[in-house]
Structure 1
Amino acid sequence: MFDTKLPLHKSMTQIHTWAGVLLACILFAVFWTGTLTIFDKEIDRWMQPSLRLAAAPAVSLDKIVDQIEQDTTGVTSFSITMPTSRRHALDVSYMSDEERVSALIDPTSGEALPTIDTFGASDFFFTFHHNLLITWAPFALGTWITSLAAVGMLMLIITGIVIHKKLIADFFTLRPERKRRRLLLDLHNLSSVVALPFHILLPLTALIINFGYFLPLAAEAPQVFFKLLRFNGVDNLLSVHQISQKLTIANHSVGVSK
């Protein structure tokens, strides 16, 4: 398959070709589902009619919390995600008897929406984009596959740059009068050069997001740092860190714990 005696340029061509063939299907599926994830809330409303709610003028969190406490027992903690302009339902999640329970609430009536028998875009496309729906614990196999595909895409980019030394010339080269194979190669080179920064950011950000899977000890470094601060008597910085963890509010999400 590979000839180790070839010069660098031709060996990079072989790696670029075979890596592209082997990773094309995975990368296409990941990019396609990632694109659809941008419109996940709109697709959810199309697939799940119960989510087609009118925007509530005001939401009473006290009413929702009281309703949860009345309908359930043994609740230790819960969180409420507020409605947005794209999703008008309240997303409630709570721990009951060591089991995580999630429900969608109509913010106007305070009643739970009927159970939906489909993943919708939020659960299907997002999960597929992240781990190909392969959730084999404890190895996170699907996440490893998509992350290795991101590494492979970086390798494709590097080998492609080595192969095409004249990137500027390739940018202005398009020969429609030539044979179909030559024309397709020109289109491949042109689109690759135009979107090169975007192509680099895609796998790079994916690897940054999944950084904790590859180097779990490095992901725990901040916690170790603050433990050392407390050991050395620096309690003020530690308290700021704890408060920032407990009082983080993002994307109109409200977390309540008992």
Structure 2
Amino acid sequence: MRVALFVTCVNDAVYPATGIATVRLLERLGVEVDFPEAQTCCGQPQYNTGYRRETVPLARRTARVFDGYDHVVTPSGSCAAMVRDHYPAMGDSAAAAFAPRMYELTEFLVDVLGVTDVGAYFPHSVTYHPSCHGLRLLGLGDRPRKLLNAVKGIELRELPGAQECCGFGGTFAVKNADVSTAMGRDKARNAVSTGAEVLCGGDNSCLMHIGGVLSRESQPVRPLHIAEILASTEEEPWS
């Protein structure tokens, strides 16, 4: 199977290890991964800020860049939800036709490849935060948990208030900084209470927000994208 990777702005600029882990994981499972270099932002920041009309050219461009691929995989529930949930409502036929071909990483693994055990090895204690877009718009359900449960050596710990928003929300964190910070502190406190070494999730934007709180409070919990856990093996362990 041949797919295209939509790495997203946040991963490309701040968390390149997540994109590398996604490719490593998919290739280990026999998937051929292309990376169209013309890809840019999907338009989510503009769309969420109210510039709906100005987002259409970005959506149209994204559809054009990934034309010809039956499956486009992204390690971001947020960006996948933007494409799948909002592109069809923009009134652009190309963007609407492209939307169903976008898959968040964990749903691609479980629903398309039909695997939950990806051969991962991660001998650490982990707690999982389900981001809002993956939880509510994509309906990922227990797919990420199924994948994590199959990881050799992992110790999963329940996160109190797991379904509560971390407070990032993209531009929400800028417009409502005090509320956003308070929500981030709640989520960080819950993560610390589990005693886990690692807080994982499917959106680095959320992990960046929570991780900022953890760092400022000198907490030992390390945020880590689920792709990096699933890509880790006994031969190539997480460092």
TM class by shorter chain equals under 0.3
Say which one has the larger Rg.
Answer: 1
| TM-score, reference length from structure 1 | 0.23
| TM-score, reference length from structure 2 | 0.24
Question: Which structure's residues are more often helix, by fraction?
Answer: 1
